[in-house]
Amino acid sequence: MSERLYLLLVGTCILLVLYLGNNYLVFGLSFILLVEGITGIRLTTSIQKARHISLDHDMVVSHTTASLGIDGLSVWRVFVAIVLVSSYALIHDYGYQVLWFIPWFMGFAILGAGASGICPVLLGLHRVGFK
């Protein structure tokens, strides 16, 4: 499984979970992304190791020197999990209905990043110095 396919699946899952409106599914998806980001054990690399293949992440990246020793994809997963949970909690627990746009925008943006191979957040993280 490549990173593009993973982003496509994550974007689809976010949109499906938001459409269903189940709190447990939103928090479960965010937990999976958070665990993948913190531990560095990603589903994509685990599947590639099990199948004995090696794929590029086929995402457009900026070629800058990595000044920080942390993987940009792991930081991206943590960032998405935190923004998704915080916006969803603010909407449903505290009544900030004006924030409904944020999780839906994230879902469509991640779905588009998986389809096109260009993720602006990932490009920004590489530009900041994550590898």
The pLDDT of residue 126 is: 82
pLDDT at 123 over 70: yes
Please, are residues 115 and 62 in contact by the beta-carbon 8 Å criterion? no
User: Between these two residues, 130 and 17, which has the higher pLDDT value?
Assistant: 17
Which tens digits make up the pLDDT trace of 17-63? 989 888 888 899 999 999 988 988 877 777 777 877 766 666 655 56
Q: Which of 109, 106, 111 is nearest to 87 (CA)?
A: 106
pLDDT tens digit string along 51-106? 777 666 666 555 666 677 778 888 889 999 999 999 888 887 777 777 788 888 99
Domain that holds residue 104: 3-128
How many domains, the chain?
1
